Amino acid sequence: MKNKRKVNENISGSEILLLSLLEEETDTVFGYPGGAIMPVFDALYDYKKELRHILVRHEQAAVHAAQGYARVSGKVGVALVTSGPGATNTITGIADAMIDSTPVVVISGQVVSSLLGTDAFQEIDIVGISQPVTKWSYQVRKAEDIAWAVAQAFYIARTGRPGPVVLDFTKDAQLATAGYYYEKCKSIRSYIPCPSINKDSIRQAAEAINSAEKPFALVGQGVELGNAEKELLDFIEKAQIPSAWTLLGASVIPSEHQLNKGMLGMHGNLAPNLKTNECDVLIAIGMRFDDRVTGNLNEYAKQAKIIHFDIDPAETGKNVDVDIPVLGNVKETLPEVTKLLKKVSRNDWIESFDIAAQEEYDKVIENEIYGKEKYITMGEVVRCVSEATGDEAVIVTDVGQNQMMGARYSKRKNPRSFISSGGLGTMGFGLPAAIGAKIGAPDRTVCLFCGDGGIQMSIQELGTIMQSNVKVKIIILNNKYLGMVRQWQEMFHNKRYSATPMLNPDFVKLAESYRIKGRKVSQREDLNAAIGEMLEHNGAYLLEVEVEKKGMVFPMIPAGTAVTNVILEK
């Protein structure tokens, strides 16, 4: 093994970097080579068995793939790129990781130190550019600083509220030699990743819940990031608290759990949105009160006492006034509150969700998922795929109508089973994220739902699938429109479909050109057989389904209105 180096052995900065990655248990790197990072790729040649390199077709895809890998595995994703455009191409992925709290380390090459500030070929200040969208961004100019910088980067990326870190390595730092010694980072002065638990807040939260008649929990990705799924179930089950989830919290509670009342937000389920403005205690757990969840803040949960569990002090009170902030990792804070909760029965409150749920089923869900319409619907495809996988698959989505349908109509039994671009809403995220997810969870089925628009923003990554033999299942929900924008144009812009109709290629032939098996379905009677063929195929597969051109995602809460202002039909 190459990483069995003697302490203080003199080796190149490039090899120090690779050994440091191995010390942080990195097994996969997503990247694209170039001149300023070439010494690292040269060193990587000798580490093929220890570090798998996935050659993407675009640097943005390297970060999205690292995100998918991190989200499904719980580890830190790593991307490796060159300077100049290689580095700037990562910014969208970095920003996406920042707002969605995904731990990734992006390593970029840089010109030699003597040329810094001279506008040398492919020189760009990636540290300055990336600082607003990273937890930490740092340039390494000396080989002896590399091990220290990597240790800091991984510690910052994975601790507290996770997020992206950028390390920029000058070429001379990669080529120079230094003594190798690695020590994992355990703390950084002035950086407090997790606040201390406040016992008074714990007590106040428990008292508020115990005295509540209609408590309601809003659950986000923070539970998943804290690996606190069991602690959450213990909490809501003891106090019989109905719960709903944000988009990124979709797989935190099993779909069939009796206390799971569905998705929050603009295209969420009717009952949880209405009950937000009816409950007497609102318990936010690892979520940040995004505007897509809250709607008009002046009309949001004004009747409720609000408890907010979060690891990031900056989030409590940022958007919504909080009565009881409970700071800390929810894996630690939830059990402390659970100890103080009374076992109660809240059957009347829990069952009250059923009235709105039935209304939504009758007006929206039944028609959407059971083939009541003339044309195949997106929700119908999602339901069929989910059922065919036994609800065990990792569901990845792109952004748009496919995303909302994927969240609404797939079911999930296991944690870390739903991956999507939440806060940034990045079209093109889906395909590379699915690649990363499949590599991060090779024994799980990974199904990607994407639209005909989003897939074409990163369709070159079919080449990555071909070269690295990534067995991801791709389902294109083709409505020949930029569907979500078209929906807004139909509802709010007098059906003026400006720049939303799509003229598309033959996706199946395109897939076949990348040696990926594919099939197109336009008739309902062919759908289940095609899904079965896709799942049985031992390899990547692209299934294109022609769906209703002007399908709508309902319910919908118009932007800027109250969460109770729900539209169920045209």
Determine the Cα–Cα distance for residues 360 and 371; give it in Å rounded to an integer.
16
Token pair recorded at residue 8:
């203080």
Q: Which is catalytic among the residues 24, 59, 360, 461?
A: 59
Is 171 tagged catalytic?
yes
C-alpha distance from residue 487 to each of 150, 159, 456, 494, 550 (Å): 46, 40, 20, 11, 8
Contact between 447 and 392 under an 8 Å Cβ cutoff? The reply is no
Determine the Cα–Cα distance for residues 314 and 310; give it in Å rounded to an integer.
9
Q: Which is catalytic among the residues 6, 121, 213, 342?
A: 121
Is 122 tagged catalytic?
yes
Is 121 tagged catalytic?
yes
CB-count burial class (<10 Å; 0-12, 13-18, 19+) for 38: middle
Q: Which is catalytic among the residues 23, 38, 50, 122?
A: 122
Distance from the Cα of residue 185 to its chain's centroid:
26
- Exposure letters 294-305 (e unless 16+ CB within 10 A, then b): bbbeeebbeebb
Q: Which residues pair with 325 in a beta bridge?
A: 308
Determine the Cα–Cα distance for residues 180 and 518; give it in Å rounded to an integer.
49
Give 439's contacts (C-beta < 8 A, 6+ positions apart): 28, 52, 54, 65, 69, 468, 470
CB-count burial class (<10 Å; 0-12, 13-18, 19+) for 373: middle
Q: Which is catalytic among the residues 75, 135, 171, 261?
A: 171
Q: Which is catalytic among the residues 98, 378, 484, 534?
A: 484
Bond from prior residue into 555 cis (ω within 30 degrees of 0): yes
Is 263 tagged catalytic?
no
Is 456 tagged catalytic?
no
Instruction: Work out the angle between the directed axes of helices 146-158 and 13-23 (0-180°, nearest 10).
Output: 30
Active site residues: 59, 121-122, 171, 484
